[in-house]
């Protein structure tokens, strides 16, 4: 449910300033989130 809601909001955000690809918006928001998850759960292994 969260992922679907996130994509709908990313699609709306991509349309507001013009026409950005929705992949760019999801990458800008998702990359820091993913890195934060990696940093939080990195206790048992090395990257």
pLDDT by residue for the chain (47 residues), tens digit each? 888 888 888 888 878 767 778 888 888 888 998 898 888 877 666 66
pLDDT value at residue 47: 60
pLDDT value at residue 27: 87
pLDDT value at residue 2: 82
Q: How far is CA 19 from CA 7, 14, 25, 46, in A?
A: 15, 6, 11, 39
pLDDT value at residue 24: 83
b/e map of 24-44 (b: 16 or more CB within 10 Å)?
ebbeeeeeeeeeeeeeeeeee
């Amino acid at each position: 449910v969260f992922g679907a809601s996130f994509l709908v909001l990313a699609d709306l955000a991509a349309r507001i300033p013009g026409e950005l690809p929705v992949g760019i918006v999801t990458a800008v928001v998702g990359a820091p989130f993913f890195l934060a998850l990696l940093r939080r759960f990195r206790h048992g292994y090395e990257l």
